[in-house]
């Protein structure tokens, strides 16, 4: 059966905020240390301590925004431990993640340097769980106050006269769990109080993000919007794709068709989560002033055998590529409300884009999806109407296709399509309404082995290729997608 799609390129729906392509880097396992930061004296080539190979790979993705320092780490992080001469910085235990020593060599100055090198916006998450209002308030002053003040003086003493520009600021993380085990009513009040003292200094205007719900905790969103909605610019949501269950996770490799199907079904669930959280937000904020910020998402598997389980290091297969493609399509299709998303995490942790081992680096299938999809950043979302063929396993059925489309300022149209089925081709006939496209180019990411992944020995097993399966005739685009594939088309 051929699926028929209509893309209305003359009726843009909303702008796709490029921050949907955001990232997250936590002091967890080998994400910051080894993955990003090696220190100036390392034999691994670096700029001010930050790995050159990682910077080069990430710059290619046009990363818009980077969240730091956590995660659960954020609510145990005391920022003053991470400033001043590195050798005098406090050594502490990273209690949440593996009980290893955290030497605080990567702190505020190093994070802003990383963002400068990546040319992305910093997104800092402050400590509500174990920090004081004063501590959070002083951090904002340290980073953004221009003039004479105790914190601006401290910053200048540490070599940085000029303040940084900081827009995105999170007031706590997962405050229903690792961020203090709070009830929403209690956190809503704390949020109101902490954010009061996170000041806007000079021209620096903070976009304040409240710690949001875990997965389908709709009551959390309801209470936060009702009690504190007027004091926030964004409200977060965290949801990971976990085959099996939280208690009984599965490995990243060695999965069967059943686990593939389950993973796809769980990825598609993001659509329902966003719809239902957005409906609650609509009740309190019909103008959609408050953005839904999905600042942690991605696959969560058992750690690779032989690695520290507290480091959350996992391989990344073609399955992760489909998970990424599905999520990005969903975020784009909800771009009226979703203003940012941050995949967890950038390097060496969970659904990473980059894996490193010593001086070696590899790009994962997830990296390639971000690279292929980056053409959508800041475009107008287009309306796509279609009825997806069904992908079934046993008694269960899900849509076989995930699609989103956008148009850039020059009029080029981009269509990203995931064929979710592990076994069936998808035949598509796409009618383009309102455009007179004459040429078509495409890229595809796929493999005959669902478990295919890149290793340090064979780093290009899963890599994008030119897509040959599309033809354009009289305004109708015919496509043949192989099973388990991600395709991005450019029409001009």
Question: Scanning residues 258 to 277, which ones bind ligand AHR (CB under 6 A)?
Answer: none
Q: Which one is catalytic: 26, 138, 296, 380? A: 296
Give the tokens for residue 341. 């998303």
Query: DSSP labels for 354-394?
Result: EEEETTEEEE-HHHHHHHHHGGGTTPEEEEEEE-PPEEEET
Give CA–CA dist 491/479, Å, rounded: 13
Tokens of 396: 């269960």
Q: Is 344 an interacting residue with respect to ligand AHR (CB under 6 A)?
A: yes
Instruction: Residue count of the chain, please give it.
Output: 492
Annotated active-site residue 296? The verdict is yes
- According to the binding rule CB under 6 A, does residue 72 interact with ligand AHR? yes
Q: Cα-flanking dihedrals φ and ψ of residue 85, to 5°? A: -60, 130
CB of 344 to ligand AHR, least distance (A): 4
Residue 28's SS3 state is coil
Closest separation in Å from C-beta 26 to ligand AHR:
5
Contact between 295 and ligand AHR (CB under 6 A)? no
Shortest reach from residue 177's CB to ligand AHR, in Å? 7
Residue 387 Cβ vs ligand AHR, minimum distance, rounded to whole Å? 36
Spatial distance between the Cα atoms of 224 and 446, rounded to a whole number of angstroms: 41
Question: Which residues have CB under 8 Å from 8's CB, separation 6+?
Answer: 382, 383, 384, 385, 433, 434
201 membership: H or E segment, kind and range: none
Residue 171: Cβ-neighbour burial (10 angstroms; 0-12, 13-18, 19+): buried
Residue 446-475 contact track with ligand AHR, rule CB under 6 A, x = bound? ------------------------------
Who contacts 188 (Cβ-Cβ below 8 Å, separation ≥6)? 223, 224, 226, 227, 228
Q: Is 445 in the site for ligand AHR (CB under 6 A)?
A: no
ω before 473 within 30° of 0 (cis)? no
Total number of residues that touch ligand AHR (CB under 6 A): 10
The answer to whether 75 contacts ligand AHR (rule: CB under 6 A) is: no
- Window contacting ligand AHR (CB under 6 A); options: 115-123, 343-351, 387-395, 416-424: 343-351
9, 19, 173, 236: which one contacts ligand AHR (CB under 6 A)? 173
Given the complex with ligand AHR, which of 73 and 145 has the nearer CB atom?
A: 73
Q: Measured from the CB of residue 298, what is the shortest distance to ligand AHR in angstroms? A: 8
Helix (H, G, I), strand (E, B) or coil at 406: strand
The answer to the question of residue 127 lying near ligand AHR (CB under 6 A) is: no
- If binding is defined by CB under 6 A, does position 102 make contact with ligand AHR? no
**CA 426 remoteness from chain centre:** 28
DSSP state letter for 271: H
Smallest separation, CB 356 to ligand AHR (Å): 18
485 binds ligand AHR (CB under 6 A): no
DSSP string over 317-342: BHHHHHHHHHHHHHHHHTTTTEEEEE
26 in contact with ligand AHR (CB under 6 A): yes
Nearer to ligand AHR, 22 or 464 (CB): 22
Which residue among the candidates 174, 287, 468, 492 is catalytic per the annotation? 174
Asked whether position 174 contacts ligand AHR by CB under 6 A, the answer is yes
CB of 350 to ligand AHR, least distance (A): 6
Q: Which helix (H) or strand (E) holds 172?
A: none
Told to check if 234 binds ligand AHR by CB under 6 A, we report no
Q: Name the DSSP class of 145.
A: -
Q: Which positions lie near ligand AHR, rule CB under 6 A?
A: 26, 70-72, 173-174, 296, 344-345, 350
Residues labelled catalytic: 174, 296
């Amino acid at each position: 059966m051929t699926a028929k799609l209509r893309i209305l390129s003359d009726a843009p729906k909303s702008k796709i905020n490029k921050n949907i392509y955001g990232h997250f880097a936590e002091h967890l396992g080998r994400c910051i240390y080894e993955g990003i930061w090696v220190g100036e004296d390392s034999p691994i080539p670096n700029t001010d301590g930050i790995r050159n190979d990682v910077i080069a790979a990430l710059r290619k993705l046009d990363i818009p925004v980077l969240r730091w320092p956590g995660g659960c780490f954020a609510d145990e992080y005391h920022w003053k431990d991470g400033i001043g001469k590195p050798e005098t910085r406090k050594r502490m235990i990273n209690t949440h993640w593996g009980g290893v020593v955290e030497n605080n060599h990567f702190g505020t100055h190093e994070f802003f340097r990383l963002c400068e090198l990546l040319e992305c916006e910093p997104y800092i998450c402050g400590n509500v769980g174990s920090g004081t209002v004063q501590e959070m308030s002083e951090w904002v002053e340290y980073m953004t106050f221009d003039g004479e003040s105790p914190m601006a003086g401290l910053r200048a003493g540490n070599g940085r006269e000029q303040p940084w520009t900081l827009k995105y600021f999170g007031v706590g993380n997962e405050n229903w769990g690792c961020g203090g085990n709070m009830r929403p009513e209690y956190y809503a009040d704390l949020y109101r109080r902490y954010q009061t003292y996170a000041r806007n200094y000079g021209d620096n205007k903070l976009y304040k993000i409240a710690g949001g719900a875990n997965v389908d905790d709709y009551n959390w969103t309801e209470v936060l919007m009702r009690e504190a909605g007027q004091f926030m610019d964004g409200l977060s949501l965290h949801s990971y794709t976990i085959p099996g269950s939280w208690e009984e996770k599965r490995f990243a490799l060695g999965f069967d068709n059943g686990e593939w199907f389950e993973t796809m079904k769980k990825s598609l669930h993001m659509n329902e989560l966003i719809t239902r959280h957005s409906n609650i937000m609509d009740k309190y904020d019909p103008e959609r002033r408050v953005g839904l910020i999905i600042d942690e998402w991605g696959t969560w598997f058992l750690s690779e055998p032989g690695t520290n389980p507290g480091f959350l290091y996992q391989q990344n297969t073609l399955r992760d590529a489909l998970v990424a493609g599905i999520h990005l399509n969903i975020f784009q299709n909800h771009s009226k409300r979703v203003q940012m998303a941050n995949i967890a995490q950038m390097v060496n942790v969970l659904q990473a884009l980059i894996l490193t081992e010593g001086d070696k680096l590899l790009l994962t299938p997830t990296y390639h999806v971000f690279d292929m999809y980056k053409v959508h950043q800041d475009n107008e979302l287009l309306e796509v109407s279609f009825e997806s063929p069904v992908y079934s396993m046993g008694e269960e059925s899900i849509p076989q296709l995930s699609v989103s489309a956008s148009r850039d300022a020059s009029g080029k149209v981009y269509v990203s399509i995931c064929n979710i089925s592990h076994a069936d081709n998808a035949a598509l006939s796409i009618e383009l309404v309102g455009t007179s496209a004459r040429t078509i180019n495409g890229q595809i990411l796929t493999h005959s082995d669902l478990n295919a992944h890149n290793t340090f020995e064979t780093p290009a097993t899963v890599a994008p290729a030119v897509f040959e399966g599309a033809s354009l005739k009289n305004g109708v685009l015919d496509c043949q997608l192989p099973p388990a594939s991600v395709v991005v088309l450019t029409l001009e």
